[in-house]
Amino acid sequence: MEMDMNVKSFGTRMSPMLLFLSFTILCVVLPQTHAIWIHIPNSEPKCISEEIHSNVVVLGDYFIFNDHSKGEHASVSATVTSPYGNTLHHHENATHGQFAFTTAETGTYVACFRLGGNIPANGSNLILDWKIGISTKDWDSVAKKEKIEGVELEIRKLEDAVEVIHAFLEYLKEKEDNMMEASEKTYAKVAHYTFVSLGVCIFVGALQVWHLKRFFQKKKLI
């Protein structure tokens, strides 16, 4: 009986710790929801970018503020492109819109917004709610569907968080390997060019000595 009481007491002490760990990982380590306030000038587009690795879910929700008291009814043209320039989302003359996709390649994804319609002289403001990775998952729906709650739900979040962190570390390792390979190739090329340059300098120096020697011999200086 005493052992059972100790185990229950230990489990009670662990619950806040699990909650704290899950909150820390989900809020600090993982990619989070980026709610961004963007000021779009009236003469040029405004772009934001995010580096994302492959097989990651991305959700976006944007809307533009119109000052109805001044009769300003601006719209926005939104375009989201992949690292290779493929258009993933395009919407013309919209006051609000949404986009969703799963990344096919690793790299920088760019979202650009340009004002249209009755454009205010000072531009306009737009809010972009940008969700990446685990932050796109609806945990309330998961909890209801699988009938889990409390610590069990937090553990499920931690499991998904660990998978995301592992994938991100694999991406960083692959990126580091590529950078090391590129550095080694660069060093090899630099060494090759150095030896070639040194050989050319020695050859030119020897040729100059030979030419001067013949010149002095013709002038009978030596």
Q: Is residue 45 part of a domain?
A: yes
**Residues 159, 56, 146, CA angle at the centre, nearest 5°?**
40
Domain of 25: which CATH number?
Answer: 2.60.120.380
Distance CA 74, CA 122 (A): 11
Alpha helical stretches, state H, 58-149: 139-146
Q: Is residue 61 part of a domain?
A: yes
pLDDT of residue 70: 63
What mean pLDDT value characterizes the chain? 78
Q: Is residue 209 part of a domain?
A: no
Element (H, E) at 180: helix 150-218
The pLDDT tens digits for 130-180 are 888 777 776 667 677 777 777 777 787 777 778 778 877 887 888 889 899
Contact 118, 72 (CB under 8 A): yes
The pLDDT tens digits for 18-66 are 444 444 444 444 444 557 888 888 888 899 998 888 888 898 999 988 7
Q: Is residue 192 part of a domain?
A: no
**Residue type at position 157:** K
β-pair type (57-64, 96-102) = antiparallel
For the cut 50, the answer to whether the pLDDT of residue 16 exceeds it is no
β-pair type (74-81, 107-117) = antiparallel
Say how many domains are in the chain: 1
Tell me the residue range of the domain where 55 lies: 2-172
